Amino acid sequence: MTNVVTPSVVLPMTDGQIDKAVDIYRALLRKHRGELGSNIVQHVLGQPEYVAEQVAVLRKRVEAVSGMIVRRVRVNRIRSPQEVLDATGRKQYTDRKVVDSMPRGEGEEVDVYLFKESCTISNDDLAKKYESLGLKPDLYAEAAINEADPAFADDHPNGSQWKDGDGKWCFAAFRRWDGERLVYVDRSGHVWRDDWWFAGVRNSLHFSPNYFVLGEFLFINTRQAEFSGEKRGDTVH
């Protein structure tokens, strides 16, 4: 018997949480102000990447708790599949016929969801997992993540799969190996190891424009093109 806990709804990070984060950061800076030169600090504060790094620290911890990574990316759908791979700047191990079969997907700006399995998984079972999460693979969007952030796959080797015109499973995979950043595109060996993250975008057939359920998460559209989510609760078997 399965008992599913009623989903809980959580809005985006609140103003109170933002104020608390700022208060904590302010107190920390005051504690260490003697270690930081004023002129250099002024210079660093003018660097836009400094702000992005502060957000990245919080996002990393949030993702560690939630077990799911979400990235919003702009995707160039005009490129050919080979141009998409070239844009990542990675060393390529590919089958050209398989590369040419990569689906383009749709949408100029999309949210990409990455999830991880705790065991090896077959292509067929992974396809079922995507469906259960209300996701579908988007190779162009996944490549866009790895293009924008080449270091992402260093700690989060990621891939996804599709079927070619003959109904055979194919895959694209991004990772770092032996000091090199690589991308593999080929026909699948039918099994994924347990160290891979899998990328997908929302399947429009499974989502409401106002809210959607993604696995253990309930996401609420609180503002246009902005979503938040929290675990729905435990499932007891």
Domain assignment of residue 129, yes or no: yes
User: Token digits for 57?
Assistant: 């620290």
Which pLDDT belongs to residue 133? 84
Model confidence at 4, pLDDT cuts 50, 70, 90, reads very low
Domain assignment of residue 16, yes or no: no
Please determine, for residue 180, whether its predicted confidence score (pLDDT) is greater than 50. Answer: yes
pTM: 0.66
Please determine, for residue 73, whether its predicted confidence score (pLDDT) is greater than 60. Answer: yes
Q: How many domains does the chain have?
A: 1
Domain assignment of residue 18, yes or no: no
Domain assignment of residue 179, yes or no: yes
Q: For 105-126, how does the pLDDT look when each residue is reduced to its tens digit (9 = 90+)?
A: 999 999 999 999 889 999 999 9
Please determine, for residue 208, whether its predicted confidence score (pLDDT) is greater than 60. Answer: no
Q: Residue 89 has what DSSP assignment?
A: T
User: What is the extent of the structural domain holding 109?
Assistant: 69-206
Q: Cα 30 to chain center, whole Å? A: 35
Domain assignment of residue 176, yes or no: yes
Domain assignment of residue 162, yes or no: yes
Q: For 24-67, how does the pLDDT look when each residue is reduced to its tens digit (9 = 90+)?
A: 889 989 998 888 899 998 988 888 888 888 887 887 776 665 57
Which pLDDT belongs to residue 56? 79
DSSP 57-75: HHHHHHHHHHS-EEEEEE-
Domain assignment of residue 169, yes or no: yes
- Integer Cα distance of 115 and 135 in angstroms: 10
Work out the end-to-end distance of the chain between its first and last CA atoms, rounded to an integer number of angstroms. Answer: 6
